[in-house]
Amino acid sequence: MPKERILVVDDEPDMLSSCQRLLSRSGYEVKVAQSGREALRILKEEPFDLILTDLRMPEMDGMEVLRLSREQSPDSAVIVFTGYGTIQDAVMAMKSGASDFVTKPFSPDHLLLAVEKAVGNLRLAAENRALKGQLEERFSFDNIVGRGPAMREVFDAIRKIADTNANVLITGESGTGKELIARSIHANSSRKNRPFVPLNCGGIPEHLVESELFGHEKGAFTGAAATRPGLLEFASTGTFFMDEISELPLNLQVKLLRVLEDRRIRRVGSNREIDIDIRLISATNRNIQQMVKEGVFREDLFYRVNTFVIHLPPLRERMDDLPLLAVHFLKRYAKSTSKVVEGIAPEVMSVLKSHAWNGNVRELQHVIERAVALTTEGVVRLEDLPDQLWRGADEGAGESSSEERSHFDLPFKDAKEAMIESFERKYILKLLSKHKGNISRAAEGSGIDRRSLHRLLVKHRIEASKYA
């Protein structure tokens, strides 16, 4: 970690030299200025993490140094030196933006403690800024993978509604990425620095949902040993995401409707109302309008939550995005596991394109995560996929198979190479299965000489021992 840079400003030479020695020995990079004007000149030329300045100096006092340094270097922390008789000045300096003050005369330990505290706060602020940047990058809608027309519509919708307070209903099958879209809306809104609080309505027992939402007072029910704020309270000033809102019990639908109308909640067991300010984003994988007709979801609540609707298409309706998604997940898991995985074999991509993907993007993500963990060759091969994805395709091989049909989406040369690769692999796999991994018998039964068969095994990254 680079050394923090400190500028010490004081009109007493002995004070400057002692501070410089002390702080330099403690590992900091220190520069000194004997007047306020000299300090401002130095600040114009180079940045500093921390500024230590005396309050009482001729020509330009420490308050002026504080004010001008805050303008020139707003991220720098400032500690002021003050005598016992000028504590009121130190308080004024703190109100003007100083992070701390040290009274003269002070011990070396006292000064070091104040500096370490200020430096610790600077490091924490830097870490928070870095984390915030990572979160904004991770959930920025510009980085959600998809280029097809269906996802372009979703991106356009996020751009239009992100910076409003409108309630949003996200619809789509399980695994399409509804929470990712919700977080993206939050990250691109004016509430992005406030809490994002998620709740899966279907993942909590019905008798606990009310307490989770609204909180409870001590003794409100058996087991309520202490007062506990609810998730709606935690989400105040930010975004509350209700996943699978269609699973919310009817009695709580009434209470949620009142919250959205009055912007107030009441903890279980309390008579006191608490003001809250939330933006509601909800999601469902069910036909909520049909549920309204069946009387299992309140119509008035439905109209409250669906001010704006975003529909996420299933993966089978956006297959143009599948290669992008697969490579995206490949890079993510290769990076997280520190593995060198250069790509996905053409026959693997063909199998991925032919799969039904009932689990949508989440299923694809888990398949690629598994493949990255299993591959030992630097390229994802068929054997790195779950058996049901590629062995089922092998058993149904033929001109009409979905895998071969997908080859016709490729240019002639690429399609021909992919079909030859696919045929070779299928033939060898069945051959090894028939002869239980015995290479000599497989070579004899196929008419392929043993050396050529070995070359094919190496080419397709097939281990004969697996079939023994």
> Is residue 10 pLDDT above 60, yes or no?
yes
Length of the chain: 468
| 394 confidence band (pLDDT: 50, 70, 90) | very low
pLDDT in tens, 29-38: 999 999 988 9
Are both 162 and 305 inside the same structural domain? yes
- CATH of residue 102: 3.40.50.2300
Backbone phi, then psi, for 376, in 5-degree steps? -120, 5
pLDDT in tens, 272-283: 899 999 999 999
More confident residue, 70 or 22: 22
> Is residue 400 pLDDT above 60, yes or no?
no
Are both 282 and 342 inside the same structural domain? no
CA distance 80 to 97: 10
CA atoms within 13 A on the CB side of 71: 7
Q: What is the pLDDT of residue 192?
A: 92
Of the candidate ranges 207-216, 349-358, 405-414, 433-442, the one whose mean pLDDT is the lowest? 405-414
Are both 145 and 116 inside the same structural domain? no
| 263 confidence band (pLDDT: 50, 70, 90) | very high
Give bridge partners of residue 281 from the DSSP assignment: 168, 241
Are both 410 and 357 inside the same structural domain? yes
pLDDT in tens, 185-244: 999 999 999 999 999 998 888 778 899 999 998 888 888 888 888 999 999 999 999 999
Nearest to 123, CA basis, from 135, 111, 113, 115 = 115
Are both 304 and 403 inside the same structural domain? no
Cβ contact 431:446 at 8 Å: yes
pLDDT in tens, 88-104: 777 888 888 888 888 88
- CATH of residue 205: 3.40.50.300
Q: Which domain-ending residue is among 278, 297, 313?
A: 313
| 398 confidence band (pLDDT: 50, 70, 90) | very low
Are both 76 and 176 inside the same structural domain? no
> Is residue 137 pLDDT above 60, yes or no?
no
Peptide bond into 105 cis (omega under 30): yes
> Which helix or strand (DSSP H or E) is residue 243 part of?
strand 239-243
Q: Which domain-ending residue is among 86, 106, 134?
A: 134
| Strands (E) located in 297-419 | 308-311, 343-344, 379-380
Which residue bears the tokens 């070091």? 112
- CATH of residue 329: 1.10.8.60
DSSP 391-427: HHHHHT-STT-HHHHHHTTS-HHHHHHHHHHHHHHHH
Q: What is the pLDDT of residue 1?
A: 47
Q: How do strand 77-83 and strand 264-266 relate by DSSP bridges? A: unpaired
Which residue bears the tokens 């995401």? 241
Of the candidate ranges 6-10, 273-277, 383-387, the one whose mean pLDDT is the lowest? 383-387
Find the mean pLDDT for residues 317-337.
91
Other C-beta atoms lying within 10 Å of the C-beta of residue 304: 19
Q: 80 lies in which domain range?
A: 5-134
Q: How many domains does the chain have?
A: 3
Are both 33 and 167 inside the same structural domain? no
- What is the identity of the amino acid at 306? N
Are both 463 and 327 inside the same structural domain? yes
Are both 305 and 324 inside the same structural domain? no
Query: What is the biggest distance separating any 2 CA atoms in the chain, rounded to whole angstroms?
Result: 102
Are both 292 and 192 inside the same structural domain? yes
Are both 198 and 306 inside the same structural domain? yes
> Is residue 44 pLDDT above 60, yes or no?
yes
Q: Which domain-ending residue is among 134, 165, 187?
A: 134
Are both 460 and 357 inside the same structural domain? yes
